[in-house]
Amino acid sequence: MEKFDYGIIGGGPAGYTAGINLAKQGYSVVLFEKNKLGGTCLNKGCIPTKSILHSAEIYTNLKFISELTNDGNFPQHFVLDYSKVIEKKDKIVEKVRKSLELAVKNSGVKTVYEEACIKDKNTITAAETDYEVKNIIVAAGSKPREIKGLEFDGQFILNSDDVLNLKELPKSVLIVGSGAIGTEWARIYNSFGSEVTVVEMAEHLIPPADIEVSKRVERIYKQKGIKFYLNDSIEKLEDKTVYLKSGVILTPEIILVAAGRMPVMCPNCDNAKVLGDSCGEIQLAHYAIHQAKEYTLNIPFEKNLTPSVIYGQPEIAWVGLREQDVDESYSISKLPITALGKSWCDDATDGFIKIITKNNLIYGAHIISKEASSLIHILLTAIQNKITLSEIKEMCFAHPTYAEGIFELI
């Protein structure tokens, strides 16, 4: 029986980060992965959807090429082949995965591509082979959450894993849920010309977001022709006809259930350290990575200051307190993106930068803008390190940039 200091079940961000860090410290590590290294993020989430979103952005921008032609018309010979979008996505995922596999191998981690289970507190079994380990880490990830009455069939009722591999663009899609997954896919399909409808049980789109962010996204949806129904849900489904509780009747080509993800756990894990999505806490790759660093390198992080980002046009990002979380002792400041020359140059004028402050400190930041996914980290740094508004005002921001909006706002 092979013996190791650590046995890790799951090769996603939490699992491979923990494995690499432990191996670099001289520990012997065996990592079990039943599919492919990278977990949900690399194979079914972050990376593939960002590739498709980028293709959608390119396609959307092509529509504005008429402004640069002598007759003001869009080139008629251009026809979208959606299967090429998926092929491009697959190539990118494969390229990133190979790089990850090399990093794990070079660190000294032994990888076993088999489904594993915990036999006892010091034994992991995979493919009828036992591995003796001193410590066990469970980072088994998550899976799409099903809704009763909307069980996945891979044809009409799909989850976020299924839609990644559709080679043909649906003419119409009903998206159930408006979190990060639902919002990004609504943007993807809308950009490529599909008829998109979103149904959300909450009072506003993107329930975890700041209320003003949600309302702005609702306005953007109306401008882009994305239909949405709030405080609503599916009452029944007959054949391929959807009946909402509000009385609305829909006949989409497909239904995408974007109701979040469920933690995957292992039996007999009472003595194991659980990391990543398996914890059932914040299901984000960067949260999982920092959890693993905290456990393996003793580097703590502010869990309540984990930034959230939703990609697409425009990007959405936030960290810290929301407007609905605070009382009148806090101040709220907002700068429209139209105040920035860079936004006009980029044809990206819809959005704002918003901060929530008190006693010369920032406690919350909310951005709808091109490059919001990067901008949010400037404000995260200020919040976590208690950099005052006065100190930020002394910094020199380059012009023209989106970042200078933070300086202008303060």
Give 358-398 as a DSSP string.
ETTEEEEEEEEETTHHHHHHHHHHHHHTT--HHHHHTS---
pLDDT score, position 172: 99
pLDDT band (50, 70, 90) for residue 87: very high
285 pLDDT more than 70: yes
Using CB atoms within 10 Å of the CB of residue 233, give its burial: 0 to 12 exposed, 13 to 18 middle, 19+ buried: middle
Name the CATH topology of 314-409: Enolase-like; domain 1 (3.30.390)
Cα–Cα distance, 366 to 359 (Å, whole number): 19
Listed in sequence order, the residues at least 6 apart from 315 whose beta carbon sits closer than 8 Å to its beta carbon are 309, 367, 368, 369, 370, 371, 372, 373
pLDDT score, position 79: 83
Phi-psi region of 44 (alpha: psi -120 to 50; beta: other; left: phi over 0): alpha
Q: What is the mean pLDDT of the chain?
A: 96
72 pLDDT more than 70: no
301 pLDDT more than 80: yes
pLDDT score, position 75: 64
266 pLDDT more than 70: yes
Residue spans in the chain of domains classed CATH 3.30.390.30? 314-409
pLDDT band (50, 70, 90) for residue 269: confident
pLDDT band (50, 70, 90) for residue 207: very high
pLDDT band (50, 70, 90) for residue 12: very high
Q: Rounded to whole angstroms, what are the CA distances from 303 to 142, 241, 296, 308, 387? A: 19, 43, 16, 12, 19
Residue spans in the chain of domains classed CATH 3.50.50.60? 2-143+261-297, 146-257
Q: Rounded to whole angstroms, what are the CA distances from 53 to 46, 185, 287, 347? A: 10, 8, 22, 17
Name the CATH topology of 2-143+261-297: FAD/NAD(P)-binding domain (3.50.50)
Query: What does the pLDDT look like over 93-127, one tens digit per residue?
Result: 999 999 999 999 999 999 999 999 999 999 999 99
Query: What does the pLDDT look like over 137-148, one tens digit per residue?
Result: 999 999 999 999
pLDDT band (50, 70, 90) for residue 43: very high
146-257 belongs to which homologous superfamily? FAD/NAD(P)-binding domain (3.50.50.60)
Q: Percent of the chain at pLDDT above 90?
A: 92
pLDDT score, position 76: 65
- Mean pLDDT computed over 161-187: 97
Phi-psi region of 386 (alpha: psi -120 to 50; beta: other; left: phi over 0): left
77 pLDDT more than 90: no
- Mean pLDDT computed over 374-397: 98
Query: What does the pLDDT look like over 310-354, one tens digit per residue?
Result: 999 999 999 999 999 999 999 999 999 999 999 999 999 999 999
Determine the number of helices (DSSP H) and then strands (DSSP E) in the chain.
11, 22
pLDDT band (50, 70, 90) for residue 61: confident
